[in-house]
Amino acid sequence: MGFATQLAFPGALLGSAFVAIFALLVTAGISPPPVASAASPLIGAVQPTSVNEALPTSEPAAPAAPQTEQAGETEAESAELSVTEAPQEGEETGVAAESAPAEEPQESEDKCKVSQRYPEKILQWCNLISKLSKKNGLDPDLIAALIWQESGGNPVAYSKSGAVGLMQVMPRDGIAASFMCINGPCFTNRPTIAELQDPAFNVQYGTGMLANLVAKYGDVREALRYYGPMDVGYYYADKVLGIYENYRK
């Protein structure tokens, strides 16, 4: 037997024995152990169980440390301290609270200030007279006396000389337009008849005129003299002042 034959014969025997053992294992239902190969990983290495199982790439993060009871107690104590230090309702804080002074009730400008002794024809304009008299610094009873003398309380009164309304103001139109002065019509800058027939406008304009005359001459009697008809002296002024004395409060 040659050298090659001598080497092949034991190998053939080992192969036959291996085949026989494998057949017995298969017949007995026992899987043979895997044969390691160069392409296979080392035996004992952990293999993924499926293609979707990924190997961990880094160590898992450590769980956050729970807050200690001591920190919680500190916060609770701080909150309790804040509540304790806050002043309670009604508790004095060391600063004297200044109470706001009570507001005094203000009288309405429209409240009637005219003597109730005047006739009803005058008292119907009481609030209007009171408001505009106060605005111009005049006594309401004086304006009431002037209205009683001039128009008797008729808001559309029209005199033979052309004066209009409650306080008989001369307008720029109507009969009054015929009155001439050195520089032309005497009442060019006055309101119209229609404007002066409005009670509020008439009393506002008339009280303003009288207030300007009082300021100019410094005396109510002198002011009434120039407010009334011309060339009668103090007759008109004294008549108005007489009514004022009789009806005033």
Q: How far is CA 82 from CA 73, 79, 95, 135, in A?
A: 14, 5, 20, 58
| Burial of 211 (C-beta count, 10 Å sphere; 0-12/13-18/19+) | middle
SS3 call for 158 = strand
* Residue-wise pLDDT tens digits, 112-124: 999 999 999 999 9
Report the candidate in 9, 32, 8 with the shortest Cα–Cα distance to residue 19.
Answer: 32
Task: Please give the structure tokens belonging to residue 223.
Answer: 């002011």
> Tens digit of pLDDT for each residue in 126-184?
999 999 999 999 999 999 999 999 999 999 999 999 999 999 999 999 999 999 999 99
Helix 235-247 and helix 220-227, axial crossing angle in degrees, nearest 10: 120
**Residue 244 above 50 pLDDT?**
yes
Confidence of residue 109 (pLDDT cuts 50, 70, 90): low
**Whole-number Cα distances in Å, 221 to 17, 183, 217, 238, 244:** 159, 28, 9, 7, 12
CATH numbers and ranges of domains, the chain: 120-168+199-247 (1.10.530.10)
Q: Where are the alpha helices (DSSP H) in 58-137?
A: 69-85, 120-123, 126-135
Residue-averaged pLDDT of the chain: 75
Higher pLDDT, 234 or 39: 234
Instruction: Write out pLDDT tens, residues 211-225.
Output: 999 999 999 999 999
pLDDT at 111: 83
Q: Give tens-digit pLDDT for 47-80.
A: 444 434 344 444 444 444 444 444 444 444 444 4
Which value, in Å, is the radius of gyration of the alpha carbons in the chain? 60
pLDDT reported for residue 173: 96
Distance CA 15, CA 19 (A): 6
Question: Would the pLDDT of 41 be above 80?
Answer: no
- Of 50-54, 92-96, 145-149, 226-230, where does the model show the most confidence? 145-149
- 150 as an active site residue: the answer is yes
Specify the range with the lowest mean pLDDT, choosing from 19-23, 42-46, 134-138: 42-46
Q: What is the mean pLDDT of residues 79-90?
A: 44
Cα–Cα distance for residue pair 33/50, rounded to 1 Å: 21
Instruction: Give pLDDT, residue 211.
Output: 98
Q: Which of 109, 150, 195, 222 is catalytic?
A: 150
Is 185 strand, coil or helix? Answer: strand
Name the residue type at position 246.
Answer: N
Share of the chain above pLDDT 70, in %: 55
